[in-house]
Each structure stands twice: as C-alpha cells, then as structure tokens.
Amino acid sequence: MKLHMQMLIAIGLGLKRNWHIFLGLILGIFTGVWLHSNPNPLITNILYFVGQLFIRFIQMVVIPLVISAIVIGITSIGDSKQLSKLGIKMIGYYTFLTVVSVALGTGLALTFKPGLGAASYINMDTAMSIQSQVSASIEAHRDNFLNMVLNVIPHNPLSAIVSGDMVPIIVFAVIFALALAKVGEINRPFVSFFESIFAATMKITDWIMILAAPGVFALTAVSVSAFGVDIFMTISKYLGVLTLGFAIQLFVIYPIFLRIFSKVPVLMLYAAIAEAMMVAFGTASSSATLPLTIACCEKRGISHKVTSFVIPLGATLNMDGTALLQVVAVMFLAQAYGVTLTIPLILQIGVLAIIASSTSAGIPGAGLITIALVLNGIGLNPDQLVAGFAFLFTIERITDMMRTLVNVTSDAVVAATIADNENEINYDLLNNPDEYNEVIE
C-alpha cells in the first residue's frame, strides 16, 4: 500500500475513539458550503457562539499551561549541559525544517508560477473594501525588524501575561526557569507550585475536549461559509500550489525527517496526534491547540521532560506551514506584478520568511500580518502592495487552517525526534494504539 494511504489510515486509527472530531470537521465543511449559498444569520450566530465557546475555554488554559510547562521542563532537565544539548538540538531541528519549508515553497512557486496572469483578479472589489485595515498593517510593519526583536523582551512580564503576548511570555518563562534550575534545591516550593498548576491545566484540557467535536464543527462551518467553494475556482492555482506544498510537508518531508533522525514510526505518531491536528485545522491557532498537542504526545509515550520544553516553544517559534505560505504568497504577488525574481531577491524572500514566520504568534492570521516584513522589500509600488496584501486577506482563513495543521504537526515531529534521541519515548505505548489512553478521560 502506498505510504500516504497508510498514513491516512493511521490518522483514522487514532480517531477510533475520537472519530467524532473528524466527523465534526467533515460535517462542518458541508454545513459551511450549504450556509454560503443559503445564508442564515441565526444559524451562523449559534455556530459562532459554539466555536468561540470552545476556543475561549481552551485559550483560558494556554498561558498558565505554557509557563508551568516551561518551568517544569527546564528545571526537570536541571543539568545545564543536558539542557544546552537539548536546546541546541531543538533549535537545530526547528531551523532545519523551516529552511526546508522555505526551499520547498520557493521550488513550487518557481515551478508552477501561480501568479502569472493573476493581476487581473487581485484587484477584486472585496479586496479593495478592506484596504484601510491592510494599509495600517503594512505601515505598522515597515522597516520594523529591530523593533520586533526588542518587543520579544517584555519590559513587564505581568503586562505581557495580561495581554497574552506569547513570545515575550515565553522569553520570560525560559529565562526564569533557567535561573530556577541554577539556584538548586531552594527552587522546590516554586517548582511544586508550577507542577500543581500544570496538572490542573491538563485536567481542565481533558474536560474542554468534550467540546472539541462541536467546537471544530462550528468553527469549520463558520469559516467555510465565509468563503464558500467558488473561491477555489478563481484562485485554484495559488491554492493548489499551497495545498500541494502542505501535503508534501506532511507526507514526504516529515516522514523522511523522522526516518533520518529517529526511529519514530510516522504512522503511529500521526495516529497519536490526530486530534491535535484536527483541532489545529478547526481553530487555526497553534497556541489554542497547544494543551492538546502536549496531551496527545504525553499520553502516548513522549516524556513530559521533552514535551513540556519543546512543544510550547515550537507552538510559538516553529512555523513551517506559515513559512511556506509566506514564500509562495510573496512570489505569487511578485509574479502577478511582473517583478523579476533574481537569485538575491529569492534569497532575501527566503531569509525574511524564516524570520517573519518564527516571529508570528500562534494565533489566527498572525502569519499574514508578519508577511508585511517579507513583502515590503520586493519592489512593488504602494498600490500594488496594498491590493496584493488585501487579496491575501480575502483567502486568509482557509490557508490559515491548513498551515496551522502543518505547524502543529511539525512541533510534534521535532518533540518525538528529540525524545527518541534522548531515550525519552515509550515505544510500547506509541506503537500500540490499543494501549492509548483516551485524551478525554
């Protein structure tokens, strides 16, 4: 049987006891298509409410979960040699996969040239209607790279926590945890405090998962109802190239990566994280999916030491799907407006996409805000820039759902690889789906 078929079956296996989320997703797509042609504000409002209920509950636990996971993860590794080995490996793997994604996006955009002839439909009326919002976003990110670097260091950690800025929160949590690890035994009361927080937030995640199927159903239906299926006809080439890219990441790059760097069987890993993958698709948010990604990995054999450190950082910093989208989207606009893609320009786009994707927060639409950083330097005039950016906005949600699924999968792939390298994985549990504990208990 072809490998990709086996993978699809593996995803199905993981769903045995949780097939309802999958059904929710499929039903959500059909309901959305139906709603698009039969608009019904009452149904849309109810669906919106159910979707938001799920997202809000799950977002509610993200910040305590991230901080406690990082503190426990780093202090449990303790020994600074092992910690730096793990940290370097994590950054190495994450960077490697992002570079591969950028190369893949470049190759696909240059091969299929999705932007040729696209200028005619970029100036769509719908795109024009959101131009002021778009201009503000472009302005806010113009030549702002140094500011972006400064902004990752919180001048007040509590205000970063209150406003939910994930990157500064993580920077603070990592530094704080490193210090706790250094001070030795005196850290016990504090670490116990975070262990209690972590255990409680994981319990809440179990409870929230009861809402996952209706939540994913409602979120998908509302998103699909906004763009319908006609959008696929107009811009099928652009969406086709993106979908192909995401599929190659999932079904070719990650399996090869796992094969080269670990003994982790990709089928079993995908079965284990199937729920997280679907919730990522439904919510379009790596951060909101984070509690579930951690739960799936831990309950299916990847040690707490590794997941609690690698996954929260990945959910914020490792964005392979976003990097691929940014490269393809920027090259699409360059091709549409006749900008010659010279080798230095292609390299510039690639490097900026690596930076822009990793500074994107794990929330819906973040990757399209930071894309301004990549778009600014390619030589489009201000009108083209605004129209092009606005065009990307109109088809944002569907691409966001797909790229978030890739982002979350990549985090789990790296966590599993590091766990394998460090002997921190229980293969009996991972390879035996019958042993899986339900994420919903």
Rounded-to-integer distance, Cα 294 and Cα 229, Å: 34
- 187 or 293: CB nearest ligand ASP: 293
Q: Which of residues 303-332 bind ligand ASP (CB under 6 A)?
A: 319, 322
| Residue 18: partners with Cβ closer than 8 Å, 6 or more residues away | 212, 274, 275, 438, 439, 440
Q: Which stretch binds ligand ASP (CB under 6 A): 100-108, 176-184, 216-224, 356-364?
A: 356-364
Type of residue numbered 81: K
Binding track over 236-265 against ligand ASP, x by CB under 6 A: ------------------------------
From 364, 373, 380, 416, residue interacting with ligand ASP (rule: CB under 6 A): 364
Q: Residue 269, SS3?
A: helix
CB of 201 to ligand ASP, least distance (A): 19
| Residue 247: partners with Cβ closer than 8 Å, 6 or more residues away | none
Count interface residues toward ligand ASP (CB under 6 A).
Answer: 16
From 70, 366, 402, 440, residue interacting with ligand ASP (rule: CB under 6 A): 366
Query: Which residue is at the shortest CB distance from ligand ASP?
Result: 367
Residue in the block written with tokens 């994930």: 166
Q: Which stretch binds ligand ASP (CB under 6 A): 21-29, 40-48, 69-77, 283-291?
A: 283-291
- 3 or 136: CB nearest ligand ASP: 136
Helices 19-37 and 274-283: crossing angle in degrees, nearest 10, is: 20
From 367, 372, 384, 421, residue interacting with ligand ASP (rule: CB under 6 A): 367
CB of 363 to ligand ASP, least distance (A): 6
Binding track over 398-437 against ligand ASP, x by CB under 6 A: --x--xx--x------------------------------
- 286 or 303: CB nearest ligand ASP: 286
Map 55-116 to HEC letters: HHHHHHHHHHHHHHHHHHHHHHHCCHHHHHHHHHHHHHHHHHHHHHHHHHHHHHHHHHCCCC
Q: Which stretch binds ligand ASP (CB under 6 A): 139-147, 205-213, 261-269, 279-287?
A: 279-287
CB of 307 to ligand ASP, least distance (A): 18
- 105 or 362: CB nearest ligand ASP: 362
- 293 or 307: CB nearest ligand ASP: 293
Closest of 279, 274, 204 to residue 436, by C-alpha: 274
Rounded-to-integer distance, Cα 179 and Cα 229, Å: 52
Rounded-to-integer distance, Cα 389 and Cα 122, Å: 9
68 touches ligand ASP by CB under 6 A? no
| Residue 93: partners with Cβ closer than 8 Å, 6 or more residues away | 261, 414, 417, 418
* Six token digits for residue 112: 């299929």
From 360, 409, 417, 421, residue interacting with ligand ASP (rule: CB under 6 A): 360
| Residue 106: partners with Cβ closer than 8 Å, 6 or more residues away | 327, 331, 346, 349, 350
Residue ranges in contact with ligand ASP by CB under 6 A: 284-286, 319, 322, 360, 362-367, 400, 403-404, 407
